[in-house]
Amino acid sequence: MNIATTLHSWDESVALFERRGLPVSSYENLYEEEYDVHSGALSVDGHFDLDTAELDGTGYIVDGDLTVSGAVLNIDDGCPALVVLGDLRAAAVYLEGDAKLIVRGSVHVEAFVGNMTDKLVMLHGDLRAGVTVLSSEFEPDLVEGTLHGPVLVPPYLADAYPGPAGAGMPAAEAVLVPEVLRAGADDSDGLRSFNTPGVHGGRLLSRIEAGLPVTLAAGRR
């Protein structure tokens, strides 16, 4: 993944954040180090894998919209930050390591998945997802706009995500393709510590990595 960037000092990065109207509450929790800045909109063919990124600074800043034909992925600890100063469009976002994801605009994905990560995730626009799956105490630190689409969460988060008109959380099998569902209580091999009812975390990740649909709606397109 070759991205044309310019290395910015922390002061230069802050000046850019201020010009783009990114609130201090978002960037004050980033490491005050150098960042690789891409000027303007960026399109990435394939996955944007934060775990394998090679860059000079502590993270990426995209000064515009980011469009990824595959998924934005973070599974391991120690990944760089990703700051998008426009909208983020991708097939999916899967966060499980120590992700730092800040989006000034809205996020448009088929699947937004977060699992047990020590993270900083702040979305200042809408989260428009075919499905949002939250597991093992993962919650975005901020979704300033509206969360669109069904949300699958562990029981202890159900009151925080009541669904449209208080309808409640849908069953996983009503939203997800059968290939990513748990077959039963004993189906725990490769689960990746997922505690979202009905969801098999390992098979969900594998399908996202393979670029295959994970929601029934996407599979019918």
User: Consecutive 10-residue runs of the chain (221 residues): their mean pLDDT?
Assistant: 91 98 95 96 96 92 98 92 98 93 98 91 97 94 94 89 69 96 92 95 98 87 55
Range of the domain at 37: 6-219
Contact call for residues 111 and 131 (beta carbons, < 8 A): yes
In a domain, 30, yes or no: yes
Which tokens in the block code for residue 90? 């991708």
The pLDDT assigned to 98 comes to: 87
Closest alpha carbon to 60 in 106, 107, 94, 13? 13
Q: What is d(CA 116, CA 175) in angstroms, rounded to the nearest whole number?
A: 22
Whole-model pTM: value is 0.95
Q: What are phi and psi of 115, to 5 degrees?
A: -140, 115
In a domain, 42, yes or no: yes
In a domain, 1, yes or no: no
The pLDDT assigned to 50 comes to: 94
In a domain, 205, yes or no: yes
In a domain, 62, yes or no: yes
The pLDDT assigned to 146 comes to: 94
Q: What is d(CA 150, CA 130) in angstroms, rounded to the nearest whole number?
A: 7
- The total domain count for the chain is 1
